[in-house]
Amino acid sequence: MKNSAKKKIPEFSSPDEERKFWADHDSSDFIDWNKAERVVLPKLKPSVRTISIRLPEIMIEEIKVLANRRDVPYQSLMKVFLAERIEQELHKVS
């Protein structure tokens, strides 16, 4: 689509309405990405929530051994393992 033929982005009444819109529409019909500038947001951090989880002691000790081998904190390694598994499960073909 030519630059002059870009569509106007509609007004949205809620974030949910906007999410639904962009899930069904190609942003390149509305935005000229060739004119976009890269932005770095160094202080942007994801929201985190502290949880309590009961694990067998042997599992904790084993994750600490694995973390030691990689020279990382064990809780950070647990987050990596969880993130990897979540990604696998979300992209698994049923």
How open is the CA angle 74-77-80, to the nearest 5 degrees? 155
- Hunting for tokens 């033929």 — which residue is that? 5
Buried b (16+ CB within 10 A) or exposed e, 9-30: eeeeeeeeeeeeeeeeeeeeee
Q: Rounded to whole angstroms, how far apart are CA atoms 21 and 40?
A: 26
pTM value surpassing 0.75:
no
pLDDT for residue 1:
45
Q: Tell me the pLDDT tens digit for each residue of 7-48.
A: 899 999 999 999 999 999 999 999 988 888 988 888 888 888
Q: Amino acid identity, residue 32?
A: D
Share of the chain above pLDDT 90, in %: 67
Structure token pair of residue 32: 């000229």
